Amino acid sequence: MAIIAPSLLSANYLHLQDECNMLNESEADWYHLDVMDGRFVPNISFGPMLIEFFRKATNKVCDVHLMIEEPEKFAEQFKNAGADILSVHIEACPHLHRNIQQIKSLGMKAGVAINPHTPIAALNEILPDIDLVCMMSVNPGYGGQKFISSTIGKIEQLRKMIDERGLKVLIETDGGVTLENASSIVAAGADVLVAGNTVFKSADPKGIIKQLKAIR
Ligand code: DX5
Ligand code: ZN
């Protein structure tokens, strides 16, 4: 069974308490928070202040996806806001190993996010040091985009790389996940499904989470 991580980027911001209650009552395992800086990605979302509110209103694992430059400047603030898992982009981090050490020393699980064009081989050296790979299946910056189908092959490659080396790294798929494509994503080897629009734009978010959870 996959870990389900609804992305609050697609939530209704006039009714955040209700959205958090829905998450708490649902079969979701985690919730996914997308932080954007308008530099690394062409959009701005929210920062640690909002995450602190989410943390207070939810009882699931808080999975924070940083789409920002210089994440080292903010890692401690995200820890204090309540992040359990913090992912940084490989494309934004010339000193990635240092970023990972920092995240771990702050007591969070460390993830590396990779863009659709970045080859899996770029993860080769960092893989034993991390807890999660956030595999982008859309170009980061917006919810509601179409799944890029070549991601399936990348998930298969990464699954093989992790298993051959006996590692415990989780593969998270982020972007364009739907009820239609979720089973092929899980079959390719993904452990975690992030879903924004599929969950929050539905008339029955809890029902959708339940259906995603039932996929194997
Ligand atoms: C995109 C974000 C995703 C996004 C997914 O930059 O990283 O987490 O919220 O949304 P959907 O599931 O709608 O593609
Ligand atoms: Zn994300």
Per-residue pLDDT tens for 72-129?
999 999 999 999 999 999 999 999 999 999 999 999 999 999 999 999 999 999 999 9
Going by pLDDT thresholds of 50, 70 and 90, the confidence category of residue 27 is very high
Joined tokens for residue 102: 């920092």
* 141 close to ligand 1 (CB < 6 Angstrom): yes
- Closest residue CA from atom 3 of ligand 1: 175
For ligand 1, pick from 4, 7, 137, 151 the residue to mutate: most ligand atoms within 8 Å of CB: 7
From the CA of 193, which ligand is nearest?
1
Contact 158, 133 (CB under 8 A): yes
**pLDDT number for residue 78:** 98
Sequential DSSP letters for 30-75: EEEEEEEBSSSSS-B---HHHHHHHHHH--SEEEEEEE-S-GGGTH
Contact 116, 139 (CB under 8 A): yes
Instruction: Kindly give the residue spans of alpha helices, DSSP state H, lying in 115-204.
Output: 151-164, 182-188, 197-200
User: Any catalytic annotation for residue 174?
Assistant: yes
Express each pLDDT in 3-21 by its tens digit: 999 999 999 999 999 999 9
Query: Average pLDDT for residues 50-68, to the nearest whole number?
Result: 98
* 140 close to ligand 1 (CB < 6 Angstrom): yes
Choice among 29, 34, 37, 191 that is catalytic:
34
Closest ligand 1 atom, CA of 177?
12
CA of 96 to the centre of ligand 1 (A): 23
